[in-house]
């Protein structure tokens, strides 16, 4: 039958509408866009209260401000210590008509206007107290004005996890004042509560002003911050309200500022003295704030970055709780100190090295002594120490990042005394890592909850890229330290060499261009490398320079996510840290991009994190997780993100790398090329870049006499001169990525001024081939400057490449999307030029779909999309074989003459002649093009499970041809999550799986059973028993056989399987099961079922080729993130290649940590 013209079938067609499990986006509500002005994050009439913690002096008691002028004092995870509210007349300030709020690195400023103020403007500036827990407010007014204040509401058992996601509901919350005790002495109100033992909060106002007891007039003002809330007069009764006692008072700013001081703790300082000279107190607080806000400072053409660094300094203060660093400044800050994750790099880069020294000595004093072997045994460090000083046992291996923090600290400080003190502990820890993480001594170390992303998966002893990269660098560091301490460095150097050799030989995948995630105990490479398996090998030097670049290319094509951020990985099932965008991971990836030479990629990722500071619910902070477009997500002020942001700017963007033990420093700026200037001031270092015309100046000031190396990316092709400190200087060329790089070494000193002048503004670029070519076509690159010297092409994009001066030519090779790298010799340095190239076949079948009209029932249609990539003067005829019928058409001519360029998709539509041959699921499509050079055969399929929803008349005929099989059973599905499993893997199925036991059942199946047959929602029947064993399990665990056999005894055009499986995400992107069809004549046919294409987890549906069938628990409860409330089985279809009778089928479980559960098999 001839095709209809493309687009003739305009009806809406039925589509499979079941969802596929999404990536886990830990976004937060209430995101607002803050402007950046004068280093502050500014918003007009923002809607949040208490959404900005004010960090300063370390401690658990933190004041919170917010968009609205109200203040909360809280002890993290324990107590609410009161709310401060202000009013003018009967108008609460937090309900004023116009509020502009500016947050600047720990300082909060509100400018408030309202018609009730009679044209007056009130400005309130809040800072942390210079010492202790609390804050000081400076109130200013354009004209004299009386401002009344009320403070109160202490209560215990006050959760503060909300602070990890923004603010808390504003208002007075007077009910929290029940049972409070308020006493006024010498102008200071002191508040206590039996609900908050051992805590006192004091409030004092500076003169002129009053302090008195206050109540609510016997009524609780409504907490909503709007026009209709309770009148302030209720909160300023002259006598205390016994039900809701509070403190109140007046302040009268005008010609002079007024001050209000709040402090809390076991005891409080002399607030009367402090408030009496509020100006001096505020000045002291401001001086301290300024010093902390500016200790790491950048000045760039991007004010958002400058402000983000300022505010991040405050967050670095927030994660410090002596003697160590918190997991997060507010969230995860309630019980003690975790040893990980990457929270110490930022403080090192920000100059807080004394804090890091204390933390190193503190944790090094808590090694594990017993037992002698096993996970978390002798030599490891306790991963968690409570605030009471008692260590707790944890499974986390935070030793690796701890030792690398020590390495970074030593590089920045040269503090050999501290290193000498902890050296025995370092040696013992490295021995622990060798003993427990590389027990076979092959040089590959296993991951055991050793990174932030490791929550939610594990490896059971396989050799892994991340741990091996850590131990490679740590052993090199240990060799350096051993040598400086007069010990033998050889064992550590040999271990490092062994690790690198093993990783290169067994983990590096040359054609794919990245390290495998791990190699398991079966010797199987797991290719789905996650983000840390990209950035750790780069930053730790496990990858060579070209490998580093290829690793970033892998990340870009595989796990780059919307909004210029990266996914932690693309693993399934999605849970905890799997399949999520996180600023931690994007920032560490950005650092790796900078180090690998892809400065643009690094900047794109860093710029997204910068955006999270002002696209936020809590302004001025970066979060652990990210929103779908890179905005702020949950766990604001998480130590990993805060630390890595500072590190990425200092070591990545600005490229500062001190090596103080060797009296050396390297500066490798990676600034956006459009920037004419940028500077960085940090810990005794001052870096400045400026450009004018064809001249550039790099100025580097150092804290002591050091030898400096500056690696300069050349802006233009040819240098005119290079001068250091006014005199001519020699330089060396280094390989750059799409740019020349020179390395200039300056003599030892405290300051270097490097001046680079170019002879012209010429910057030559390589002329690349088109984005796609046809296999066998000529591929050429050209450059007007320099010469090609070769090409690196492990993916075989090219055939017979030949370099001839400024031209590189080859034939297009293997079809697919590739990256190769041309090498050039330029005037001053070698250059690597990455090229992305898609090689296409001459003809492609891009897709096919079965179209069944949704609105009005009618005959199904076949829609096929073909693409001719090579010009054809004589368009070839097309034959499409589908469902036993042949359909014919002809491709349109493509050439310059016809005006139709090659490579344009062309769609054909055919009405189906024999719909009785259609079945749910996949239907093969075979296209034959009769070209002048011979026939070209293309294959594809349509896939529609919901066929009978729009074509119900076909369901009965289909069901009549179905033969549900009686299959053997060896377990009850309800029981598989309740038993222990014997074998080398995890002894249970539910590792990192969130579910309720009652979720795992067949209740939905039993409801629909008729005569022992369960008819699925797409019309495929299966035979399932109502009682007793109901599933046939195959697994590598010893609980069940690893292969099961099912008798068939008949021929089949289709085989439908109903599978309820469990698997771990460390097994993702691999074949999970193998189905073998044994025909009666002895021939066999095999098909592998892989995840996430065909195999998924019964608690999450993500198998894109399978149809989910609800079997128990809540309908649809197997989608989403978090606790599963429903279970599903997958309907899969197999297409036997022969029409001979099938004697039996065998299903073999291929992967560890996987259970294949067969609920039914049906022949069609």
Domain of 714, CATH number, reads 2.60.420.10
Pick the closest to residue 113 from 102, 97, 101 (CA basis): 97
Shared-domain flag, residues 835 and 851: no
Shared-domain flag, residues 832 and 719: no
Flag whether 661 is in a domain: no
- The label of the residue with tokens 């308020």 reads 182
651: tokens are: 């070591």
Contacts of 927 (CB under 8 A, 6+ apart): 845, 864, 866, 878, 879, 880, 881, 937, 938, 939, 940
- Provide the pLDDT for residue 5: 38
Helix axes 639-647, 583-596, angle to 10 degrees: 20
Shared-domain flag, residues 818 and 868: no
Residue 186 CB coordination number (10 Å): 10
Flag whether 954 is in a domain: no
Flag whether 252 is in a domain: yes
Sign of CA dihedral 535, 538, 540, 542: positive
- Provide the pLDDT for residue 98: 98
Whole-number Cα distances in Å, 977 to 974, 994, 999, 1058, 1121: 7, 12, 11, 19, 20
State what percent of residues in the chain have pLDDT above 70.
94
722: tokens are: 């290079």
- The last residue of one of the domains, among 239, 273, 293, is 293
* Domain span at 1102: 961-1163
Residue count of the chain = 1164
Shared-domain flag, residues 305 and 186: no
Whole-number Cα distances in Å, 233 to 72, 210, 575: 21, 16, 51
Shared-domain flag, residues 242 and 158: yes
At residue 820, φ and ψ (nearest 5 deg) are -130, 170
Shared-domain flag, residues 198 and 246: yes
Shared-domain flag, residues 566 and 455: yes
- Provide the pLDDT for residue 859: 74
- Return the DSSP state at 965: P
Calculate the average pLDDT of the chain.
93
Shared-domain flag, residues 105 and 167: yes
Shared-domain flag, residues 836 and 903: no
Q: What is the CATH number of the domain that holds 83?
A: 2.70.98.40
Beta strands in 266-420 (DSSP E): 296-299, 320-321, 324-325, 336-338, 384-386, 391-392
Residue 229 CB coordination number (10 Å): 18
Flag whether 25 is in a domain: no
Flag whether 1046 is in a domain: yes
> Which pTM does this prediction carry?
0.95
Decide: helix, strand or coil at residue 563. Answer: coil
Decide: helix, strand or coil at residue 954. Answer: helix
- The last residue of one of the domains, among 238, 264, 293, is 293
Flag whether 53 is in a domain: yes
- The label of the residue with tokens 């070839």 reads 876
- Provide the pLDDT for residue 986: 60
Flag whether 658 is in a domain: no
Q: What is the CATH number of the domain that holds 819?
A: 2.60.40.10
Contacts of 430 (CB under 8 A, 6+ apart): 379, 403, 471, 474, 475, 478, 492
The total number of structural domains that make up the chain: 6
Residues with pLDDT less than 70, the chain: 1-11, 207-209, 215-242, 855-858, 895-899, 982-995
Q: Which DSSP helix (H) or strand (E) runs through 1024?
A: none
- Provide the pLDDT for residue 989: 61
- The label of the residue with tokens 């062994």 reads 498
Cα 469 to Cα 705: distance, rounded to the nearest angstrom? 33
Cα 862 to Cα 952: distance, rounded to the nearest angstrom? 18
- Provide the pLDDT for residue 1013: 97
Flag whether 956 is in a domain: no
Cα 853 to Cα 850: distance, rounded to the nearest angstrom? 10
Decide: helix, strand or coil at residue 1122. Answer: coil
Bridge partners (DSSP) listed for residue 692: 695
Decide: helix, strand or coil at residue 986. Answer: coil
Shared-domain flag, residues 745 and 721: yes
Q: Which DSSP helix (H) or strand (E) runs through 1100?
A: none
Shared-domain flag, residues 677 and 824: no
Contacts of 505 (CB under 8 A, 6+ apart): none
Shared-domain flag, residues 251 and 313: no
- The last residue of one of the domains, among 819, 840, 861, is 840
């Amino acid at each position: 039958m001839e095709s209809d013209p493309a687009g003739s079938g305009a009806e809406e067609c039925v589509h499979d509408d079941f969802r596929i499990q999404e990536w886990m986006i830990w976004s937060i509500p209430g995101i607002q866009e803050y402007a950046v002005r004068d280093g502050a994050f500014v918003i007009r009439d923002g809607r949040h209260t208490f959404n900005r913690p004010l960090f300063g002096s370390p401690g658990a008691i933190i004041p919170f401000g917010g968009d609205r002028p109200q203040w909360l004092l809280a002890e993290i995870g324990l107590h609410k210590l009161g709310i401060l509210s202000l009013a003018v007349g009967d108008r609460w300030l937090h309900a004023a008509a116009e509020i502009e709020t500016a947050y600047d690195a720990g300082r909060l400023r509100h400018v408030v206007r309202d018609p009730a103020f009679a044209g007056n403007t009130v400005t309130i500036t809040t800072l942390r107290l210079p010492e202790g827990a609390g804050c000081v407010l400076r109130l200013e007014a354009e004209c004299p004005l009386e401002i009344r204040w009320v403070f109160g509401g202490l209560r215990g058992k006050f959760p503060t996890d909300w602070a990890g996601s923004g603010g808390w509901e504003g208002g007075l919350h007077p009910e929290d004042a029940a049972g409070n005790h308020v006493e006024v002495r010498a102008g200071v109100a002191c508040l206590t509560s039996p609900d908050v033992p051992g805590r006192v909060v004091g409030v004092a106002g500076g003169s002129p002003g009053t302090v008195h007891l206050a109540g609510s007039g016997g009524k609780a003002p409504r907490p909503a911050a709007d026009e209709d809330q309770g009148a302030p007069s209720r909160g300023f009764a002259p006598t205390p309200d016994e039900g809701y006692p509070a403190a109140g008072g007046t302040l009268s700013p005008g010609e002079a500022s007024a001050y209000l001081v709040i402090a809390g703790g076991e005891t409080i300082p002399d607030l009367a003295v402090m408030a009496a000279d509020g100006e001096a107190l505020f000045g002291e607080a401001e001086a301290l704030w300024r010093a902390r806000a500016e200790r790491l400072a950048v000045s760039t053409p991007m004010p958002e970055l400058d402000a983000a660094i300022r505010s991040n300094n405050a967050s670095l203060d927030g994660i410090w709780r002596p003697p160590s660093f918190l997991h997060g400044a507010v969230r995860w800050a309630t019980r003690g100190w975790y040893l990980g994750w990457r929270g110490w790099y930022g403080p090192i880069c920000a100059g807080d090295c004394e804090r890091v020294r204390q933390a190193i000595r503190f944790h090094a004093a808590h090694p594990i002594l017993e037992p002698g072997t096993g996970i978390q045994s002798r030599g490891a460090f306790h991963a968690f120490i409570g605030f009471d000083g008692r260590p707790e046992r944890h499974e986390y291996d935070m030793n690796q990042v701890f030792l690398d923090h020590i390495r970074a600290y030593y590089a920045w400080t040269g503090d050999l005394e501290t290193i000498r003190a902890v050296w025995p502990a370092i040696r013992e820890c490295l021995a622990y890592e060798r003993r427990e993480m590389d027990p076979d001594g092959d040089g590959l170390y296993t991951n055991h909850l050793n990174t932030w992303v490791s929550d939610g998966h594990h490896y059971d002893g396989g050799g892994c890229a991340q741990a091996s990269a850590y131990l490679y660098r740590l052993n090199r560091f240990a060799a350096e330290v051993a040598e400086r301490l007069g010990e033998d460095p050889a064992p550590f150097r040999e271990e490092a060499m062994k690790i690198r050799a093993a990783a290169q030989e067994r983990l590096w995948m040359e054609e794919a261009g990245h390290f495998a995630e791990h190699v398991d105990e079966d010797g199987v490479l797991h290719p789905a490398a996650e983000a840390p398996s990209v950035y750790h090998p780069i930053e730790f030097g496990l990858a060579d320079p070209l490998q580093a670049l290829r690793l970033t290319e892998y990340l870009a094509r595989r796990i780059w996510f919307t909004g210029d951020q990266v996914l932690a990985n693309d693993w399934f099932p999605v849970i905890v840290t799997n399949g999520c965008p996180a600023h931690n991971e994007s920032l560490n990836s950005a650092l790796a991009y900078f180090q690998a030479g892809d400065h643009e990629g690094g900047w794109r990722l860093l710029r997204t994190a910068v955006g999270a500071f002002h696209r936020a619910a809590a302004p001025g902070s970066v979060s652990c997780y990210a929103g779908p477009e890179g905005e702020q997500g949950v766990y604001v002020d998480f130590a990993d993100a805060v630390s890595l942001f500072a590190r990425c700017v200092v070591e990545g963007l600005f490229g500062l790398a001190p090596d103080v033990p060797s009296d050396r420093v390297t500066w490798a700026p990676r600034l956006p090329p459009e920037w004419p200037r940028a500077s960085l001031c940090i810990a005794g270092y001052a870096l400045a870049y400026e450009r004018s015309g064809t001249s550039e100046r790099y100025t580097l000031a150092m804290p002591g006499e050091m030898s400096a190396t500056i690696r300069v990316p050349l802006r233009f092709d040819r240098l005119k001169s290079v001068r250091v400190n006014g005199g001519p200087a020699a330089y060396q060329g280094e390989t750059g990525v799409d740019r020349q790089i020179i390395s200039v070494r300056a003599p030892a000193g405290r300051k270097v001024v490097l001046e680079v002048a170019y002879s012209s503004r010429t910057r030559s670029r390589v002329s690349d081939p088109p984005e796609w070519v046809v296999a066998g076509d000529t591929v050429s690159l050209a450059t007007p400057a320099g010469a090609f010297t070769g090409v690196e092409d492990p993916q075989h994009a090219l055939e017979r490449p030949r370099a001839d001066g400024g031209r590189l030519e080859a034939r297009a090779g293997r079809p697919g999307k590739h990256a190769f790298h041309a090498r050039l010799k330029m005037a001053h340095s070698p250059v690597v030029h990455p090229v992305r190239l898609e090689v296409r076949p001459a003809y492609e079948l891009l897709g096919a779909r079965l179209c069944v009209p949704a609105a009005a029932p009618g005959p199904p249609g076949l829609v096929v999309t073909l693409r001719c990539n090579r010009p054809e003067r004589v368009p070839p005829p097309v034959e499409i074989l589908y469902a036993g019928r042949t359909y014919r058409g002809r491709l349109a001519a493509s050439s310059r003459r016809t005006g139709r360029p090659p490579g344009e998709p062309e769609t054909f539509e055919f009405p189906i002649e024999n719909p009785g041959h259609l079945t749910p699921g996949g239907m093969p499509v075979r296209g034959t093009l009769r070209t002048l050079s011979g026939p070209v055969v293309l294959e594809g399929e349509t896939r529609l499970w919901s066929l009978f929803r729009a074509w119900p008349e076909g369901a009965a005929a289909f069901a009549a041809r179905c033969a549900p099989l009686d299959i053997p059973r060896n377990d009850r599905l309800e029981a598989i999550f309740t038993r222990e499993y014997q074998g080398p893997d995890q002894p249970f199925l539910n590792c990192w799986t969130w579910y309720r036991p009652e979720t795992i059942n067949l209740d939905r199946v039993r409801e629909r059973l008729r005569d022992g047959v369960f008819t699925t929602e797409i019309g495929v029947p299966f035979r399932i028993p109502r009682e007793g064993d109901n599933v046939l399990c195959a697994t590598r665990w010893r609980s069940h056989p690893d292969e099961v056999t099912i008798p068939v005894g008949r021929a089949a055009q289709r085989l439908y399987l109903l599978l309820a499986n469990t698997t771990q995400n460390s097994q993702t992107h691999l074949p999970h099961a193998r189905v073998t069809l044994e025909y009666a004549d002895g021939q066999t046919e095999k098909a592998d079922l892989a995840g996430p294409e065909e195999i998924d987890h019964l608690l999450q549906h993500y198998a894109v080729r399978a149809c989910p069938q609800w079997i128990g628990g809540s309908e649809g409860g197997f989608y989403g993130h978090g606790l599963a409330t429903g279970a599903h089985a997958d309907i899969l279809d197999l297409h036997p290649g022969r029409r001979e009778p099938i004697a039996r089928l065998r299903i073999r479980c291929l992967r560890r940590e996987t259970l294949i559960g067969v609920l039914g098999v049906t022949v069609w």
